[in-house]
Structure 1
Amino acid sequence: MITESTVRAEFHGGRSRVGPLTWGQRGTWDGIHQWLPEVKPFFVLTRWLPVPLPLSVGDVLEQISELLLRHESLRTLFHASARGDATQEVLASGAVDVTLFDRPADDPVDFTSIVTDCLVRAGATAFAHDEELPIRISLALHEGIPVLVVLGVSHLAADHSGTELLVAELAAMLRARADGEPVPAARPSVQPVDLATRQNSPDGQLLNVEAMRYLREHAARMPSPAPARAVALEPRFVRGEIESGALPVAVRAAARRLRTSTSVVLLSITTGLLRCFCPGPAYRLDVMQGNRLEPDLFTAVTTLNQAVKTVVDLDAADFDEVLRRSAATMAAAKRHARYDGRLAAEVLRGVDLPPGCQVNDMWSTLPRTRATSTEATTLAWPERTAHEDMALYLDTGGAPERMRLSLMADTALLPPDGIRAFLFAFERLAEELAVGDVPLERFGEVFAGAAV
């Protein structure tokens, strides 16, 4: 029988301070409270990693404590103010609970089931951010020996890139401890309170001014909502996703052939497919940006990503024009993705924003690898929800050699067979772009053929 217990990973000697939220934290704070009591999956980032032999529970707890000391975002409480805003309080000392699941040798439950249960637990309830540190940790044991660490990180503490950094850093620390080597030194990075100070400086406010100018320009061009194409299902929103080893190879080859970035290729294919079921001549497009453009931000464990609201034109004459427009859109998004969300809300007051498409390319930020995947493309339907802010959410992620392409759609616009067609047409078109030019008419043909 699996036994469950709790220990504590303590930290002491850190820096204590209080400050305002960063722009990224404030946007996440507002988003979390908009949806409460519902907990959206993207507000808790879950990961797991193996523990090298022969470390003890104490060894693992010691490295977790060191991780908390290195990253102020992990030992921060968030307190709401009377105005609905919040401040962040970094603790100099404290502890985080670590749940232990110890499996005896004769227990039939495998570690996959234990990890799945830990991941579900980590994201099942909202963080009490004013009294709970924004990280939940479980440790799976076999006869008292640590085997796996499972993390649930609040999006207030880290975005996807920051969470991947945490996992890689903890893995390196555990490996060094197991090998009897010195633990790798912390990489220089900005801490959230320092970043908030930077954003409130004159240079930071200049970024705000430029971002608000760009927002006003695109808010004035917002089109009417796309009409329904089908009877909506209940729940209304459905997520389909493929995992493909062919997509990474094709997208990189297409980017080299077209002399552009993989993000531009992905956005261009998305735009070409939007033309298949959106009447145009324009469509709302929100581009999520990681905002890791400066050296001390590249390694920061905090939440930096922000969405840039734009309008994409669907009246291009050929794919070359789509590509040029996508490159311009991505360049503008990088320049204008750092801003105060509360100020943006004031700019948009009275503007009727139609539900559009949000694109979040996380795959292009992953480390490059020469490895390839020969596994066949798989399709899954991991999520259904009743309410969302956008009609379409397109996300890329997974691994460098095996991309996860995910589309959540309003089934009144794109029913499940259309979601499936979009995903497989995306893969096919990327493969065709890798070897030659593709006319825009071909997008409609491939989309229609994939729907059969």
Structure 2
Amino acid sequence: MITESTVQAEFHGGRSRVGPLTWGQQGTWDGIHEWLPQVKPFFVLTRWLPVPLLLSVGDVLEQISELLLRHESLRTLFHASPRGDATQEVLASGALDVAVFDRPADDPVDFTDIVTDCLVRAGATAFDHDQELPIRISLALHEGIPVLVVLGVSHMAADHTGTELLVAELTAMLQARADGKPVPAPKPSVQPVDLATRQNSPDGQLLNVEAMRHLREHVARMPPPEPARAVPLEPRFVRGEIESGTLPVAVRAAARRLRTTTSVVLLSITTGLLHHLCTGPVYRLDVMQSNRLDPDLFAAVTTLNQAVKTVVDLDAADFDEVLRRSAATMVAAKRHARYDGRLAAEVLRDVHLPPGCQVNDMWSTLPRARTTSTAETTVAWPERTAHEDMALYLDTGGTPDRMRLSLMADTALLPPDGIRAFLFAFEALAEELATGDVRLERFGEVFAGVPVD
């Protein structure tokens, strides 16, 4: 029988500080409170990692404590103000409860089931950010020996890139401890309170001015909403996703051939498919940016990503023009992705935005793959919800050698068969772009030619 207990990872000697939220934190704070009591999947980022052999529970807790000391975002409480915003309080010392699940040798429960249960627990309930540190950790043991660590990180503490950095760092720290070597030093990076100070400086306010100018220009060109094409399902929004070893190879090859970046290739394929799907000459396209261009933000464990609202023209004559426009859109998005979301909300207060499409390319930020995946492409339907802010959400993620391409769609615009066709057409078009030019009309042909499941 699996026994469950709780231990604590204590931390002492850090800096104690109080400050305003960064722009990324404020946007996340507002998004979380807009949806509460519902907990959206992106509110809690879940990961797991193996523990090297021969480490004790105390060894693992020691490295967790060190991780908390290194990253102020993990030992921060967030306190709401009467105005609806918040302040962050970094704790100098404290303790984090760690759930421990010990499986005896004769127990039939598989560790995969234990991890799944821990991941579900980590994201099942909203964080009490006023009282609870923004990270939940579980430790799975076999006969008292640590085997796996499971993390649930609040989006207030880290975005997807920051969470991957945490996993890589803790993995290296545990391996060094197992090898009897000094743990790797932390990578230099800005802490959230320092970033908030930078954003409130004159240089930060200049970024705001330029971002608001860009926002007003694109809001003025926003089209009307796309008309419904079908009676929506209940729940109305459906997420389909494929995991593909073909896509990483094809997208990188296409980027090399076209002399551009993988993000631009992904955005261009998306725009080419929207050219086929949408009725108007322009379409709203929000581009999510990781905002890690500055050297001291590369390894920052905080939430930095922000979306840039743009309008894309769908009247291109050929794919080369789509590619050029996508490159220009991506350059502008990188330039204007750092801004005060509360200020943007004022700009948009009396504006009725069409739902549009949001693109979030998290895969291109991953390190290059050293191997390629030969596994077949798989399809899954992981989520259905009643309400969303956008008509389409296209996300890329996964691993360097196996891309997860995810599309959540309003079924009044794109039913499940259409979602599946979009995803497989995306994969097929990436393969074609890897080896040669593609006519813009080809996007519609490939989309229409995907067999119905």
User: How much does 1:434 deviate?
Assistant: 0.5
Distance 1:441 1:186 in 2: 50
Aligned to 2:389: 389
Which residue of 1 is the match for residue 20 of structure 2?
A: 20
What SS does structure 2 have at the residue aligned with 1:206? helix
Determine the structure 2 residue equivalent to 1:361.
361
- Contact 1:417/1:451 (CA < 8 Å) preserved in 2? no
Give the 5 Å matches for 1:186-225: 186-225=186-225
Matched letter for residue 346 of structure 2: E
Unaligned runs of 5+ in 2: none
Q: Deviations over 1:129-170 (max 9, x none)?
A: 000000000000000000000000000000000000000000
* DSSP-derived class of the 1:275 partner: helix
| One-letter amino acid of the counterpart of residue 420, structure 1 | R
Map of 1:249 onto structure 2: 249
TM alignment of 1:24-423, pairs within 5 A: 24-423=24-423
Measure the CA separation in 2 of the matches of 1:377 and 1:80: 45
CA distance in 2, matches of 1:253, 1:370: 15
Instruction: Kindly provide the amino acid, as one letter, of the partner of residue 425 in structure 2.
Output: A
Question: How many pairs align?
Answer: 452
Identity, % of aligned positions: 89
Structure 2 length normalisation: TM-score? 0.99
2:147 partner amino acid: V
Q: Secondary structure at the match of 2:203?
A: helix
Letter in 1 for 2:190: V
Instruction: Provide the residue aligned with 1:426 in structure 2.
Output: 426
How far did residue 279 of structure 1 move? Answer: 0.4
Report the secondary structure of 1:9's partner residue.
strand
Question: Post-superposition shift, 1:33?
Answer: 0.1
Q: In the aligned structure 2, how far is the partner of 1:444 from the partner of 1:32?
A: 37
Q: Which amino acid aligns with 2:240?
A: G
In structure 2, C-alpha distance between the alignment counterparts of 1:426 and 1:352, rounded to whole Å: 30
List per-residue Cα deviations over 1:277-310 (Å, max 9, x = no partner).
Answer: 2102111000000000011100000000000000
Superposition deviation, residue 230 in structure 1:
1.1
* Displacement after TM superposition at 1:451 (Å): 4.8
Aligned to 2:276, the other structure's residue is in SS state coil
Which amino acid letter does the alignment assign opposite residue 183 of structure 1?
A: V
Tell me the C-alpha RMSD between the 2 structures.
0.5
Q: Report if aligned partners of 1:418, 1:451 keep a CA contact under 8 Å in 2.
A: no
Q: Deviations over 1:42-62 (max 9, x none)?
A: 010000000001000000000
Shift of 1:275: 1.8
Rounded Cα–Cα distance in structure 2 between residues aligned with 1:351 and 1:337: 20
Q: Compute the TM-score of the two structures, normalised by the length of structure 1.
A: 1.00
Deviations 1:417-438 (A, max 9, x none): 0000000000000000011110
**Alignment check: 8 A CA contact 1:396 1:403 kept:** yes
Task: Give distance in 1, aligned partners of 2:278 and 2:228.
Answer: 10
> Per-residue deviation at 1:346?
0.4
2:189 alignment partner AA: S
**C-alpha distance in 2 between matches for 1:121 and 1:80:** 25
Q: In structure 1, how many angstroms separate the alpha carbons of the residues matched to 2:369 and 2:402?
A: 11
Map Cα deviations across residues 220-262 of structure 1 (whole Å, 9 max, x no partner). 0000001111110001000000000010110011111111100
Deviation at 1:370, TM superposition (A): 2.7
Contact 1:245 1:376 in 2 (8 A): yes
1:166 corresponds to which letter in structure 2? L
